[in-house]
């Protein structure tokens, strides 16, 4: 059989593959006995018993492929492999049906670690806690802003000049007035009220809300703590400043600086130079005042100056004119010319200087007019009495000593020393009261040129001559 195949392929007229299969099939049919078409359990057709004939020993076996290769054509190249998915689609295309989309591989189901209902409960719990926390925070802030549940007790707070909004908020928190300093600062910044609070001491209440707190800590607030100060007649400016500091109104340095540098618009201060701490000496009218604690120094001094302006009435101004006329007549009678008289007319500044000496020298209102007469009598006769010799001016020049004067004290070189400098001292030596100012405007008509303290009565003894004066002093020494 192999020879036949060799002849076929060696022949010039080579058969095609289909023809070769057909011829081979024919030969196999002739040489192979027929099998039954029914399949057996082993998958092979069993021959019938009467048809089975043992093949000849020499006969070769040729397989019968039937018509399995009838539809095959000629193959020039090996057909490419087709993916499994394409075979599936081809089966639907042959039947005229549209192939369904390929199925996605199914993921392996994962087992849930936390059940869904647990997640829902957790979500609700978180939302609830957040809502409660937010609501609690809002309520806490509202309580602080509106002062819910606070007591109606009063307390005192002090704002210093150097305090910032941070300092004020922290101070209020430390005292228990507010709970959240940051919230108070936010309120002040939001309402533009952070700069409205003024230095001072205030009486506020724990149940004040934020609005009441801010309004209660401004200079014009009725909540500001006041201090009542009584300024005695005859105090110097330095003594008044010390008294203010003692009562918590202002410090000595604040008042002294303000007095020396601040321009106060009053007619009686015209021409007084700036720079000296005692620049306002004589015009700080002694009286009883109500000041704020930690008050503004300019406000404090202005209050005293306003009182002087009110007390020195138009009637007092008219009396000053009358005094100058009387003084001019006496100087003219003493032989002084008009230029000298014009140069020695009393301004309100000179008048208060005389009143300040009366205030410091007098032992009582009843003798103030006589002391004024001694001063004016000497001033009207400068040729005979160039020095008015007032001990109180020496005490002022020495800074307010509290002891008997010595001869050395009277020789101190100071424009306030009336033992060394002729005429009036350079300015007032105290702040006189109304009685001393009245005495300076209306001196008694006397011939006195001397006075000395009578230790037995506590009042002064007045003398017309130097001999009379020395005799009285000798009596005082003998009485000791």
DSSP per-residue string spanning 414-432:
-TT-TTTSSSS-SS-SS--
pLDDT (tens digit, 9 = 90+) per residue, 253-278? 999 999 999 999 999 999 999 999 99
Does pLDDT of 1 surpass 80?
no
| Mean of per-residue pLDDT scores for the chain | 83
> What confidence score (pLDDT) does residue 54 get?
47
pLDDT (tens digit, 9 = 90+) per residue, 373-411? 999 999 999 999 999 999 999 999 999 988 889 999 999
Find the range with the poorest average confidence among 6-15, 58-67, 180-189, 378-387.
Answer: 6-15
pLDDT (tens digit, 9 = 90+) per residue, 41-63? 454 444 444 444 444 444 455 65
Which is more confidently placed, 277 or 2? 277
Question: What is the average per-residue pLDDT within 420-437?
Answer: 96
CA dist 224 and 158 (Å) reads 9
Does pLDDT of 97 surpass 70?
no
**Token pair of 114, please?**
């936390």
Q: Express as a percent the part of the chain with pLDDT over 70.
A: 75
Where residue 96 falls among pLDDT bands split at 50, 70, 90?
low
Alpha helices, DSSP H, located in 74-207:
84-94, 116-146, 165-174, 181-190
Query: What contacts 24+ positions apart, CB below 8 Å, involve 159-163?
Result: 159/197, 159/198, 159/199, 159/200, 159/201, 159/202, 159/217, 159/294, 160/199, 160/294, 161/199, 161/294, 163/199
Question: What is the average per-residue pLDDT within 133-148?
Answer: 76
CA dist 237 and 255 (Å) reads 9
**Token pair of 161, please?**
């000049």
Does pLDDT of 154 surpass 60?
yes
Residue 205: strand pairing partners: 154
Does pLDDT of 104 surpass 70?
no
Find the range with the poorest average confidence among 81-95, 300-314, 434-448.
Answer: 81-95
**356: nearest Cα among 219, 269, 236, 214:** 236
Which is more confidently placed, 328 or 45? 328
Work out the end-to-end distance of the chain between its first and last CA atoms, rounded to an integer number of angstroms.
183
> What confidence score (pLDDT) does residue 324 get?
96
**367: nearest Cα among 285, 284, 457:** 457
Does pLDDT of 430 surpass 70?
yes
Does pLDDT of 356 surpass 70?
yes
Where residue 113 falls among pLDDT bands split at 50, 70, 90?
low
């Amino acid at each position: 059989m192999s020879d036949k195949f060799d002849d076929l392929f060696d022949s010039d007229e080579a058969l095609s593959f289909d023809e070769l299969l057909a011829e081979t099939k024919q030969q196999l049919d002739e040489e192979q006995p027929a099998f039954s078409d029914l399949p057996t359990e082993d998958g092979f057709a069993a021959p019938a018993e009467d048809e089975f004939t043992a093949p000849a020993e020499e006969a070769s076996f040729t397989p019968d492929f039937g018509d399995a290769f009838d539809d095959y054509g000629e193959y020039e190249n090996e057909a490419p492999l087709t993916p499994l998915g394409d075979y599936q689609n081809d089966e639907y295309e042959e039947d005229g049906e549209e192939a369904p989309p390929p199925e996605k591989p199914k993921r392996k189901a994962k087992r849930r670690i936390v059940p869904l209902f647990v997640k829902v409960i957790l979500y609700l719990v978180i939302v609830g806690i957040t809502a409660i926390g937010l609501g609690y925070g809002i309520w806490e802030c509202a309580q602080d802003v509106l002062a819910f549940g606070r007591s109606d007790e009063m307390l005192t707070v002090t704002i210093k000049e150097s305090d910032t909004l941070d300092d004020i908020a922290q101070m209020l928190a430390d005292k228990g007035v507010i709970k959240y300093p940051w919230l108070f600062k936010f309120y002040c910044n939001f309402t533009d009220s952070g700069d409205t609070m003024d230095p001072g001491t205030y009486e506020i209440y724990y149940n004040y809300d934020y609005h009441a707190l801010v309004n209660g800590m401004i200079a014009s607030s009725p909540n500001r703590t006041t201090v009542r100060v009584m300024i005695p007649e005859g105090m110097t400016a330095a003594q008044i400043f010390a008294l203010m500091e003692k009562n918590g109104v202002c410090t000595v340095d604040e008042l002294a600086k303000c007095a020396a540098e601040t321009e106060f618009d009053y007619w009686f201060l015209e021409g007084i130079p700036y720079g000296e701490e005692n620049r306002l000496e004589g015009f700080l009218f002694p009286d009883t005042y109500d000041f704020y604690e930690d008050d503004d120094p300019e406000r404090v001094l202005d209050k005293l100056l306003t009182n002087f302006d009110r007390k020195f009435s138009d009637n007092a101004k008219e009396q000053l004119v009358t005094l100058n006329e009387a003084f001019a007549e006496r100087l003219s009678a003493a032989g002084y010319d008009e230029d000298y008289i014009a140069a020695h007319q009393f301004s309100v500044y000179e008048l208060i200087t005389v009143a300040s000496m009366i205030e410091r020298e007098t032992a009582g209102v009843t003798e103030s007019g006589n002391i004024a007469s001694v001063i004016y009598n000497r001033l009207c006769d400068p040729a005979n009495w160039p020095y008015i010799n007032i001990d109180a001016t020496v005490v002022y020049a020495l800074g307010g000593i509290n002891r008997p004067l010595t001869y050395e004290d009277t020789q101190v070189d100071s424009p306030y020393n009336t033992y060394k400098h002729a005429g009036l001292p350079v300015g007032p030596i105290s702040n006189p009261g109304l009685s001393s100012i009245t005495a300076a405007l209306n001196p008694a008509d006397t011939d006195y040129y001397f006075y000395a303290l009578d230790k037995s009565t506590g009042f002064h003894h007045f003398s017309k001559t130097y001999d009379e004066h020395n005799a009285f002093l000798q009596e005082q020494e003998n009485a000791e």
